[in-house]
Amino acid sequence: MEMQKVPEAGYPIKGLPVAGLQRSLSLANLSFPFKLWKSLRMAAQIVKEFRPHAVVGVGGYASGPVLRAAQSKGIPTLLQEQNSYAGLTNKLLAKKANSICVAYPGMDQFFPAGKIKITGNPVRKDILDLSGKKEKGIEHFGLATDRKTILVLGGSLGARTLNQAVLQDMQKLEEAGYQVLWQSGKFYFKEMLAKLEESGLKHIHLREFIREMDLAYAVADVIVSRAGALSVSELSLVGKPVIFIPSPNVAEDHQTKNAMAYVSHQAAMLLRDAEAVGQLKNKVDELLQDAALAATLGENMKKLAKPDAAKAIVNELEFLVK
């Protein structure tokens, strides 16, 4: 994604061929050593030519070779760990890193305690203030003013379980007086659209991708989402009641750990991926039929927000450079 998004934002980018090591037996693992060796050489050349004053790694595969190259030359390095369960790349780089910015407490189980700064995760600025945007959002998405709105987010590519859960319960949700603003994702949009058109339902509003997220958050009464690190951090700023359906298909089940960091503070509800299809409406009912519970979740979610995360990370970076 970044190979498209970064140039669109006006910045040059260089890619490395490094890829992840598959945890199961796979032919793809045979090429891993060669990709890693080539990436290390490329990273060393990039660092030599660019001559950075500091290097930041956010845990992706490509950050490994680049930070290794920087650390070997004595260039200050900063790690940013987005999840509540540290990724392998960051754990390997932590010993020689100068500073480690995290989003959750208790990360000293993975990193040297003296290097840790709890900063939160950077998120988009346009969601910091949603006041006055609900009416605009209702008009923009063509929503009814007399129905509670459920916002379903499966990411830009989509999440099959979330889509199947909406399909299973969408008639019941509409009959119960709700409306759904549903981001299906790129991979599933055509399939979901065909099934929605067959249903004849009028209050299930399907989108392949939602760009106007501030408006989507503003109209939502309940949000159903995966529990990726940045999604969780963003939703904490929104302060609406959330049902997390963590993806089970991620390393170390870190999405469940992300979600539980909020559930344990009574700041969100959890619906297991294996139980989501057939149980979505029940969870929505549980929230929307209990105003006190919905309010408590939203308030507690806001308490865990860190709106100045980007500034805090930049301040730490400037300290390292100076």
d(CA 130, CA 262): 22
83 is in an annotated binding site: yes
184 is in an annotated binding site: no
68 is in an annotated binding site: no
d(CA 311, CA 322): 16
In the chain, the amino acid numbered 304 is L
CB atoms within 10 A of CB 28: 13
255 is in an annotated binding site: yes
99 is in an annotated binding site: no
232 is in an annotated binding site: yes
39 is in an annotated binding site: no
Q: Which of 288, 60, 240, 18 is nearest to 133 (CA)?
A: 240
Burial of residue 69 (CB within 10 Å: 0-12, 13-18, 19+) is: buried
Burial of residue 122 (CB within 10 Å: 0-12, 13-18, 19+) is: buried
Q: Residue 244: beta bridge partners? A: 225, 270
Pair of tokens at residue 61: 């595969």
233 is in an annotated binding site: yes
Task: Yes or no: say if 311 and 276 are a contact pair by the CB < 8 Å rule.
Answer: no
156 is in an annotated binding site: yes
Pair of tokens at residue 297: 């979740």
The DSSP symbol for 149 reads: E
229 is in an annotated binding site: yes
Task: Yes or no: say if 98 and 77 are a contact pair by the CB < 8 Å rule.
Answer: yes
Q: Enumerate the known binding-site residues for UDP-N-acetyl-alpha-D-glucosamine.
A: 83, 124, 156, 210, 229-234, 255
Q: Enumerate the known binding-site residues.
A: 83, 124, 156, 210, 229-234, 255
